[in-house]
Amino acid sequence: MSASPAPHLHWDKRPDLERPVVLAAFEGWNDAGEAASTAARYVRDHFDATPVGTIEAEDFFDFTVARPFVHLRGGQRVIKWPTTTVYAGSIAGAPNDLVVLIGHEPQLRWRTFTDHVVAVADALGASHVVTLGALLADIPHTRPVPVFGLADEPELSDRLGIRPSTYEGPTGIVGVLGARLRECGLSTASLWASVPSYISSAPSPKAALALVEKISVVLGVPLPRTDLEIASEAYVAQISELVAEAEEDGIPELVQAFEEDYDEQGGPDRGNDRVRGVDASDVASIADDPEALVAEVEDFLRNHPD
């Protein structure tokens, strides 16, 4: 079964690929800590995937909400629209090539938008489509990142070692896209990393690293992760320092409670019933504004007295 025609899909060139694996990530509600989009860009850059097509933004965005950006290029002002870009690359020594689709979660016409993504997979002969996401969860930053999700193929699910999601509630474009892909008969998998709920506005290289490790399993090739590992260590150290400085507000006790709960529930294989989405459009750097991070932790504690 194929999707409807895709008039807003435009190709710069149609690459000749060998049964590619498609990775799809969307900034916004599905991208806590920018983990999903960071992981997708990391893989794209490692394999030197280049732009081959776009899904135009005009019918899928409210530009008073997702505003275009203006840049200066050679003294001229250039408008950058919130376009979804398709990248393609080869993977030496692997049975499948790579397609990476990165954009922002659209505000409008989700059914039509997902049909355009299905059209990308159909046009390039995709073997699998893997959607990436990240959600807030009541987990500590000091423990390994839980990754949960699903895979249509039992063999892939076993290799990934992912725990099926038990989440029920509001969903984002990633959930809608996964359902549409399955309706169209495409083999799919979905990977979700957990990000500590008390630091939602900080980019999480640690969660991105956890996703990249699973992507390596899907692709069947090793991925160097040194950069993300270094960034993850710095992330944990910075947050631990800020948490320690907020002792008067009870933040260390909150983190300790999350650690105990995490350990009691089986570590990274714990359930994922305490997760929620996030609008990550205003993600800030820990190093740039540590006071904002402390304020966010304090706000979380006030709103979660138990």
User: Would you state the pLDDT for residue 93?
Assistant: 85
Residue 1, domain member (yes or no): no
CB 170 within 8 A of CB 277: yes
Residue 174, domain member (yes or no): yes
β partners of residue 80: 69
User: Would you state the pLDDT for residue 292?
Assistant: 57
Residue 3, domain member (yes or no): no
How many structural domains are present in the chain? 1
User: Would you state the pLDDT for residue 288?
Assistant: 45
304, amino acid identity: H
Residue 70, domain member (yes or no): yes
Tens-of-pLDDT digits for all 306 residues of the chain? 455 578 999 999 999 999 999 999 999 999 999 999 999 999 999 999 999 999 999 999 998 888 888 989 888 999 988 899 999 999 988 899 999 999 999 999 999 999 999 999 999 999 999 999 999 999 999 999 999 999 999 999 999 988 777 778 889 999 999 999 999 999 999 999 999 988 877 899 999 999 999 999 999 999 999 999 999 999 999 999 988 888 777 888 989 999 999 999 877 765 444 444 444 333 333 334 555 555 555 555 455 445
Strand 50-55 and strand 84-89: the pairing is: antiparallel
Residue 199, domain member (yes or no): yes
Range of the structural domain that residue 51 is part of: 9-303
CATH number of the domain that residue 78 is part of: 3.40.50.10900
CB 172 within 8 A of CB 2: no
**Euclidean distance between CA atoms 276 and 186, whole angstroms:** 27
Does the global pTM surpass 0.85?
yes
User: Would you state the pLDDT for residue 259?
Assistant: 95
